[in-house]
Amino acid sequence: MTYSSKTGLSTSGFLNKISIPLGVQLWSVKNDLARGIDPTLEKLAATGFRFAEAAGYDLNTRTIFGLKPAVFRQKLDAAGIQCIGAHAPVSPETIHQVLEDLSTLNIAYLICSLYPDAGRTAADYYQIAENYNHTGGIARKADVHFGYHNHHFEFTPVEGERPIDILLKNTDPALVSFELDLGWAVQAGTAPETLFETYPGRFPLWHLRDVDAGGTAVNAGAGIVNFHALQPLKKQAGFLYGIVETPSAATDGMDRVIASFNYIRREQLY
């Protein structure tokens, strides 16, 4: 088993189905964090979460959840939670600032995503892939892995090509990783298994998000994502970290991530 000095966590624990501690996307509990950062982080740690993926970075104020990154890191450390990654608005124009600001978090992964745009063409996605290679190269020099987080629209063909395929085929695996949101993929009618088979090793991060048959996000185990079927495919996918995510707008975000954590642990999935 290898060990990451960057995160202090196993980087090959997928060989043992329960050896990797579960993570949480902090955007899931953004309303809880707004009410109190310290008690929220403490409750996540008490639940059993050992690492987190940050969000809420503001380019203008250069803060995370309203705090300077160094202060946020102190609060994570106090709770006993490691920050293995962060979501941020990353582009060739912002990458240097983002890396500078988030360096105090000692993140291993820097993740970005696109949002639906009815006017985006296939050529746009090819350009995005080129930009991601450039951005990923800059991130690697800072010892950070750059990655892309999908939603549902990347699975709808644009001019005969699926955006997700354009991005995967035209990005350098050494420079661009993918964080597969299982719920969004299943909602779009795509079986994650087919992605793992077609693009092995490209998905080190999984958002353990579930949806019901109508596409509404639900707690893990309450929807149609077949986590049991995906568990044996971790090695093929290149899986390293499983990150619980639930609806960010929910006022009961803490209850939701705890319920998801308990289901995944009870089923011994991660």
Interval 105-142: pLDDT, tens? 999 999 999 998 989 999 999 999 999 999 999 999 99
- Domain definitions of the chain by residue range: 13-266
- Provide the terminal-to-terminal Cα distance of the chain, rounded to the nearest Å: 16
Question: For the range 115-123, what are the long-range contacts, defined as Cβ-Cβ under 8 Å and sequence gap of 24 or more?
Answer: 115/151, 116/151, 116/153, 120/158, 120/163, 121/158, 121/159, 122/158, 122/159, 122/160, 122/161, 122/163, 122/166
Cβ 234 vs Cβ 14: under 8 Å: yes
Residues of 203-239 as b/e, b for ≥16 C-beta within 10 angstroms?
bbbbbbbbbeeeeebbbbbebebebeebbebbeebbb
pTM of the predicted structure, to 2 decimals: 0.92
- What pLDDT score does 192 carry? 98
pLDDT digits (tens, 9 = 90+) for 28-59: 999 999 999 999 999 999 999 999 999 999 99
Q: What is the DSSP letter of 153?
A: G
- Structure-block tokens of residue 169: 């085929």
Paired tokens of 148: 């892309």
- 237 vs 230: CA distance, rounded Å: 9
Question: What is the Cα Rg of the chain in Å?
Answer: 17
**How far is Cα 14 from Cα 200, in angstroms, rounded to an integer?**
14
Angle at the Cα of 15 (from 227 to 20), degrees rounded to 5? 70
Q: Residues of the chain with pLDDT > 90: what percent?
A: 88
* Predicted confidence (pLDDT) at residue 6 exceeds the cutoff of 70: no
Q: Would you state the pLDDT for residue 118? A: 87
CATH code for the part of the protein at 13-266? 3.20.20.150
Using alpha carbons, select from 208, 90, 203, 204 the residue that is nearest to residue 142.
90
For residue 10, the SS3 value is: strand
- pLDDT at 7 > cutoff 70: no
Question: Residue 21: what pLDDT?
Answer: 66
Nearest C-alpha neighbor of 180 from the set 207, 143, 218, 211: 207
Phi then psi for residue 247, to 5 deg, are -55, 125
Q: What is the Cα–Cα distance from 37 to 30, expressed in whole angstroms?
A: 9
